[in-house]
Structure 1
Amino acid sequence: MTKASTIPETSTMIKTTVPTLYLLTNDDEFELLYRKLKIALATGVIGLLQIRRKQVLAQSNGEAKLYEEAKEIVALAQQYKVPVVINDDIALASKLGVGVHLGQGDGDIDEAKQTLTPDQIIGRTCHGDVALVKEAKQAGATYAAMGAVFASSTKPHAHTVSYQQLAEGCQQNIDICVIGGLTAENISQLKGLPLVYIAVVGDIMDLPIDSVEKRCYEWQQALTNW
């Protein structure tokens, strides 16, 4: 998707509510990651946080290490009243008392609903497939994530979705999250879509630590102009 803004907006898509900025962790060394998260959360701009640490999990003691990291991150997020979801791990989400994000094939929504408390968020990856969005809604997911919107440093070879696919996803009566290559500058190309979550990794987390606060406020400005 390179020219999302060329697709005409329709009156049924217009939404006055500002989307929530949804921050995902990267694979920084934990001390640096924690410092960046503390700065980002302190701005008050972040409305949802996902713990995704694939390189940590790949280590021989990855599950134990992730649990220790996640406990600290969840405690930090609680200080700023920001809800947390764990990537792909229902058991860990339950252990920590947080939500979960499930990729296709990485967990069952019914299992998550039975395991987690009713107030915990359950997200589902749906790529650009509206049929998967419908499935997520029917299964009772909180939100459906669509993307990649643009190529990104996290997933440079991911298939991108069109504005029209996103518009159709937004018509399925489930909260829609967009992800993939989004920046405070290009997000304006999605104006007119009733998005609930805008997920960001690299545009904040891959920055030097002294740039994180400024970037969060640039995102705040971009979303204020939504």
Structure 2
Amino acid sequence: MAKPLTLVPVPKLYLLTNDDEFELLYRKLETALATGLIGLLQIRRKQVLAMPNGQTLLYDEAVKIVALAAEYNVPVVINDDLTLAAQLGVGVHLGQQDGSISQAKQQLMPNTIIGRTCHGNVDLVKAAQDDGASYAAMGAVFASTTKPNANTLSRSQLIDGCQQGRDNSVNKSIDMCVIGGLTAENIGQLAGLPITYIAVVGDIMDLPLDRITKRCQEWQQALAEWQSPA
């Protein structure tokens, strides 16, 4: 008798902000969120932070973005800034040098999303899992305009990371996130892997405003074809 096929859940699209001027950024976010496709939103504004009054500007922007996301019931995480995340009552994404998971769990509300950058290292995925992070982000999967010089993962690294995320020998589950050069055209190469979040910046946010809705629809079609035998 043939073994029943196991279908993995369809991942959620995880949208990251770019460095557009804020009015344009806000309109793009509003357009993307209105499609109902976005499952998680990250505020990452490197150029704003580099300005003399960057922290104040980022806070003002983040307040507006968090309020917008709330209208569409989309959770928000702040990139690398635990203090701001705590002030706004939202989640945080931490790089390896940007604070500990335990500190984040102490400062944020229970069940708040806490993400951890794990690059291509399965040991970092395990560490994030042991520390109680919500998700581990692996990448870059492909070269991207955001980080053109980032090291890309091999297929085996990605599979190993996903297997660690599903490891039942540990008592803490962790969602897996992939990032780096992902598009509606190449995401099918990852079909069948147990991924919870597909992080996207340029493939949506770098488009002109009037192309955002169509691109989200193309992503929706790509994700509709995601499930395959695991």
TM-score scaled to structure 1, two decimals?
Answer: 0.93
Listed one character per residue, the Cα deviations across residues 84-128 of structure 1 (whole Å, up to 9, x for unaligned) are: 000001110010010000011011111000000112100000000
1:16 is the counterpart of 2:8: yes
User: Which runs of structure 2 are paired with 1:1-226 in the superposition (5 Å)?
Assistant: 15-172=7-164, 173=166, 174-226=174-226
Q: Post-superposition, which runs of at least 4 consecutive aligned residues in structure 1 deviate over 2 A?
A: 13-16
Report if the CA contact (8 A) 1:14-1:192 is conserved: no
- 1:6 equivalent in structure 2: none
- Note the residue ranges of structure 2 that are not aligned, 5 or more in a row: 167-173
Shift of 1:34: 0.1
Shift of 1:14: 5.5
- Note the residue ranges of structure 1 that are not aligned, 5 or more in a row: 1-10
Shift of 1:200: 0.1
Report if the CA contact (8 A) 1:99-1:121 is conserved: yes
Report if the CA contact (8 A) 2:8-2:193 is conserved: no
- Seq. identity, %: 72
Listed one character per residue, the Cα deviations across residues 25-80 of structure 1 (whole Å, up to 9, x for unaligned) are: 00000000000000000000000000000000000000000000000000000000
Take 2:89 and 2:6, find their aligned partners in 1: how far apart are those partners?
Answer: 35
| CA RMSD, 1 decimal | 1.2
Report if the CA contact (8 A) 1:128-1:161 is conserved: yes
- 2:170 equivalent in structure 1: none
Matched residues, number: 215
Shift of 1:16: 2.7
Take 1:80 and 1:42, find their aligned partners in 2: how far apart are those partners?
Answer: 7
Take 2:110 and 2:140, find their aligned partners in 1: how far apart are those partners?
Answer: 29
Listed one character per residue, the Cα deviations across residues 146-182 of structure 1 (whole Å, up to 9, x for unaligned) are: 0000000000000000111111111123211000000
Closer, same or farther in 2 for the Cα pair 1:205/1:147, shift >3 Å?
same
TM-score scaled to structure 2, two decimals?
Answer: 0.92
SS in 1 for 2:92: strand
Take 2:223 and 2:156, find their aligned partners in 1: how far apart are those partners?
Answer: 21
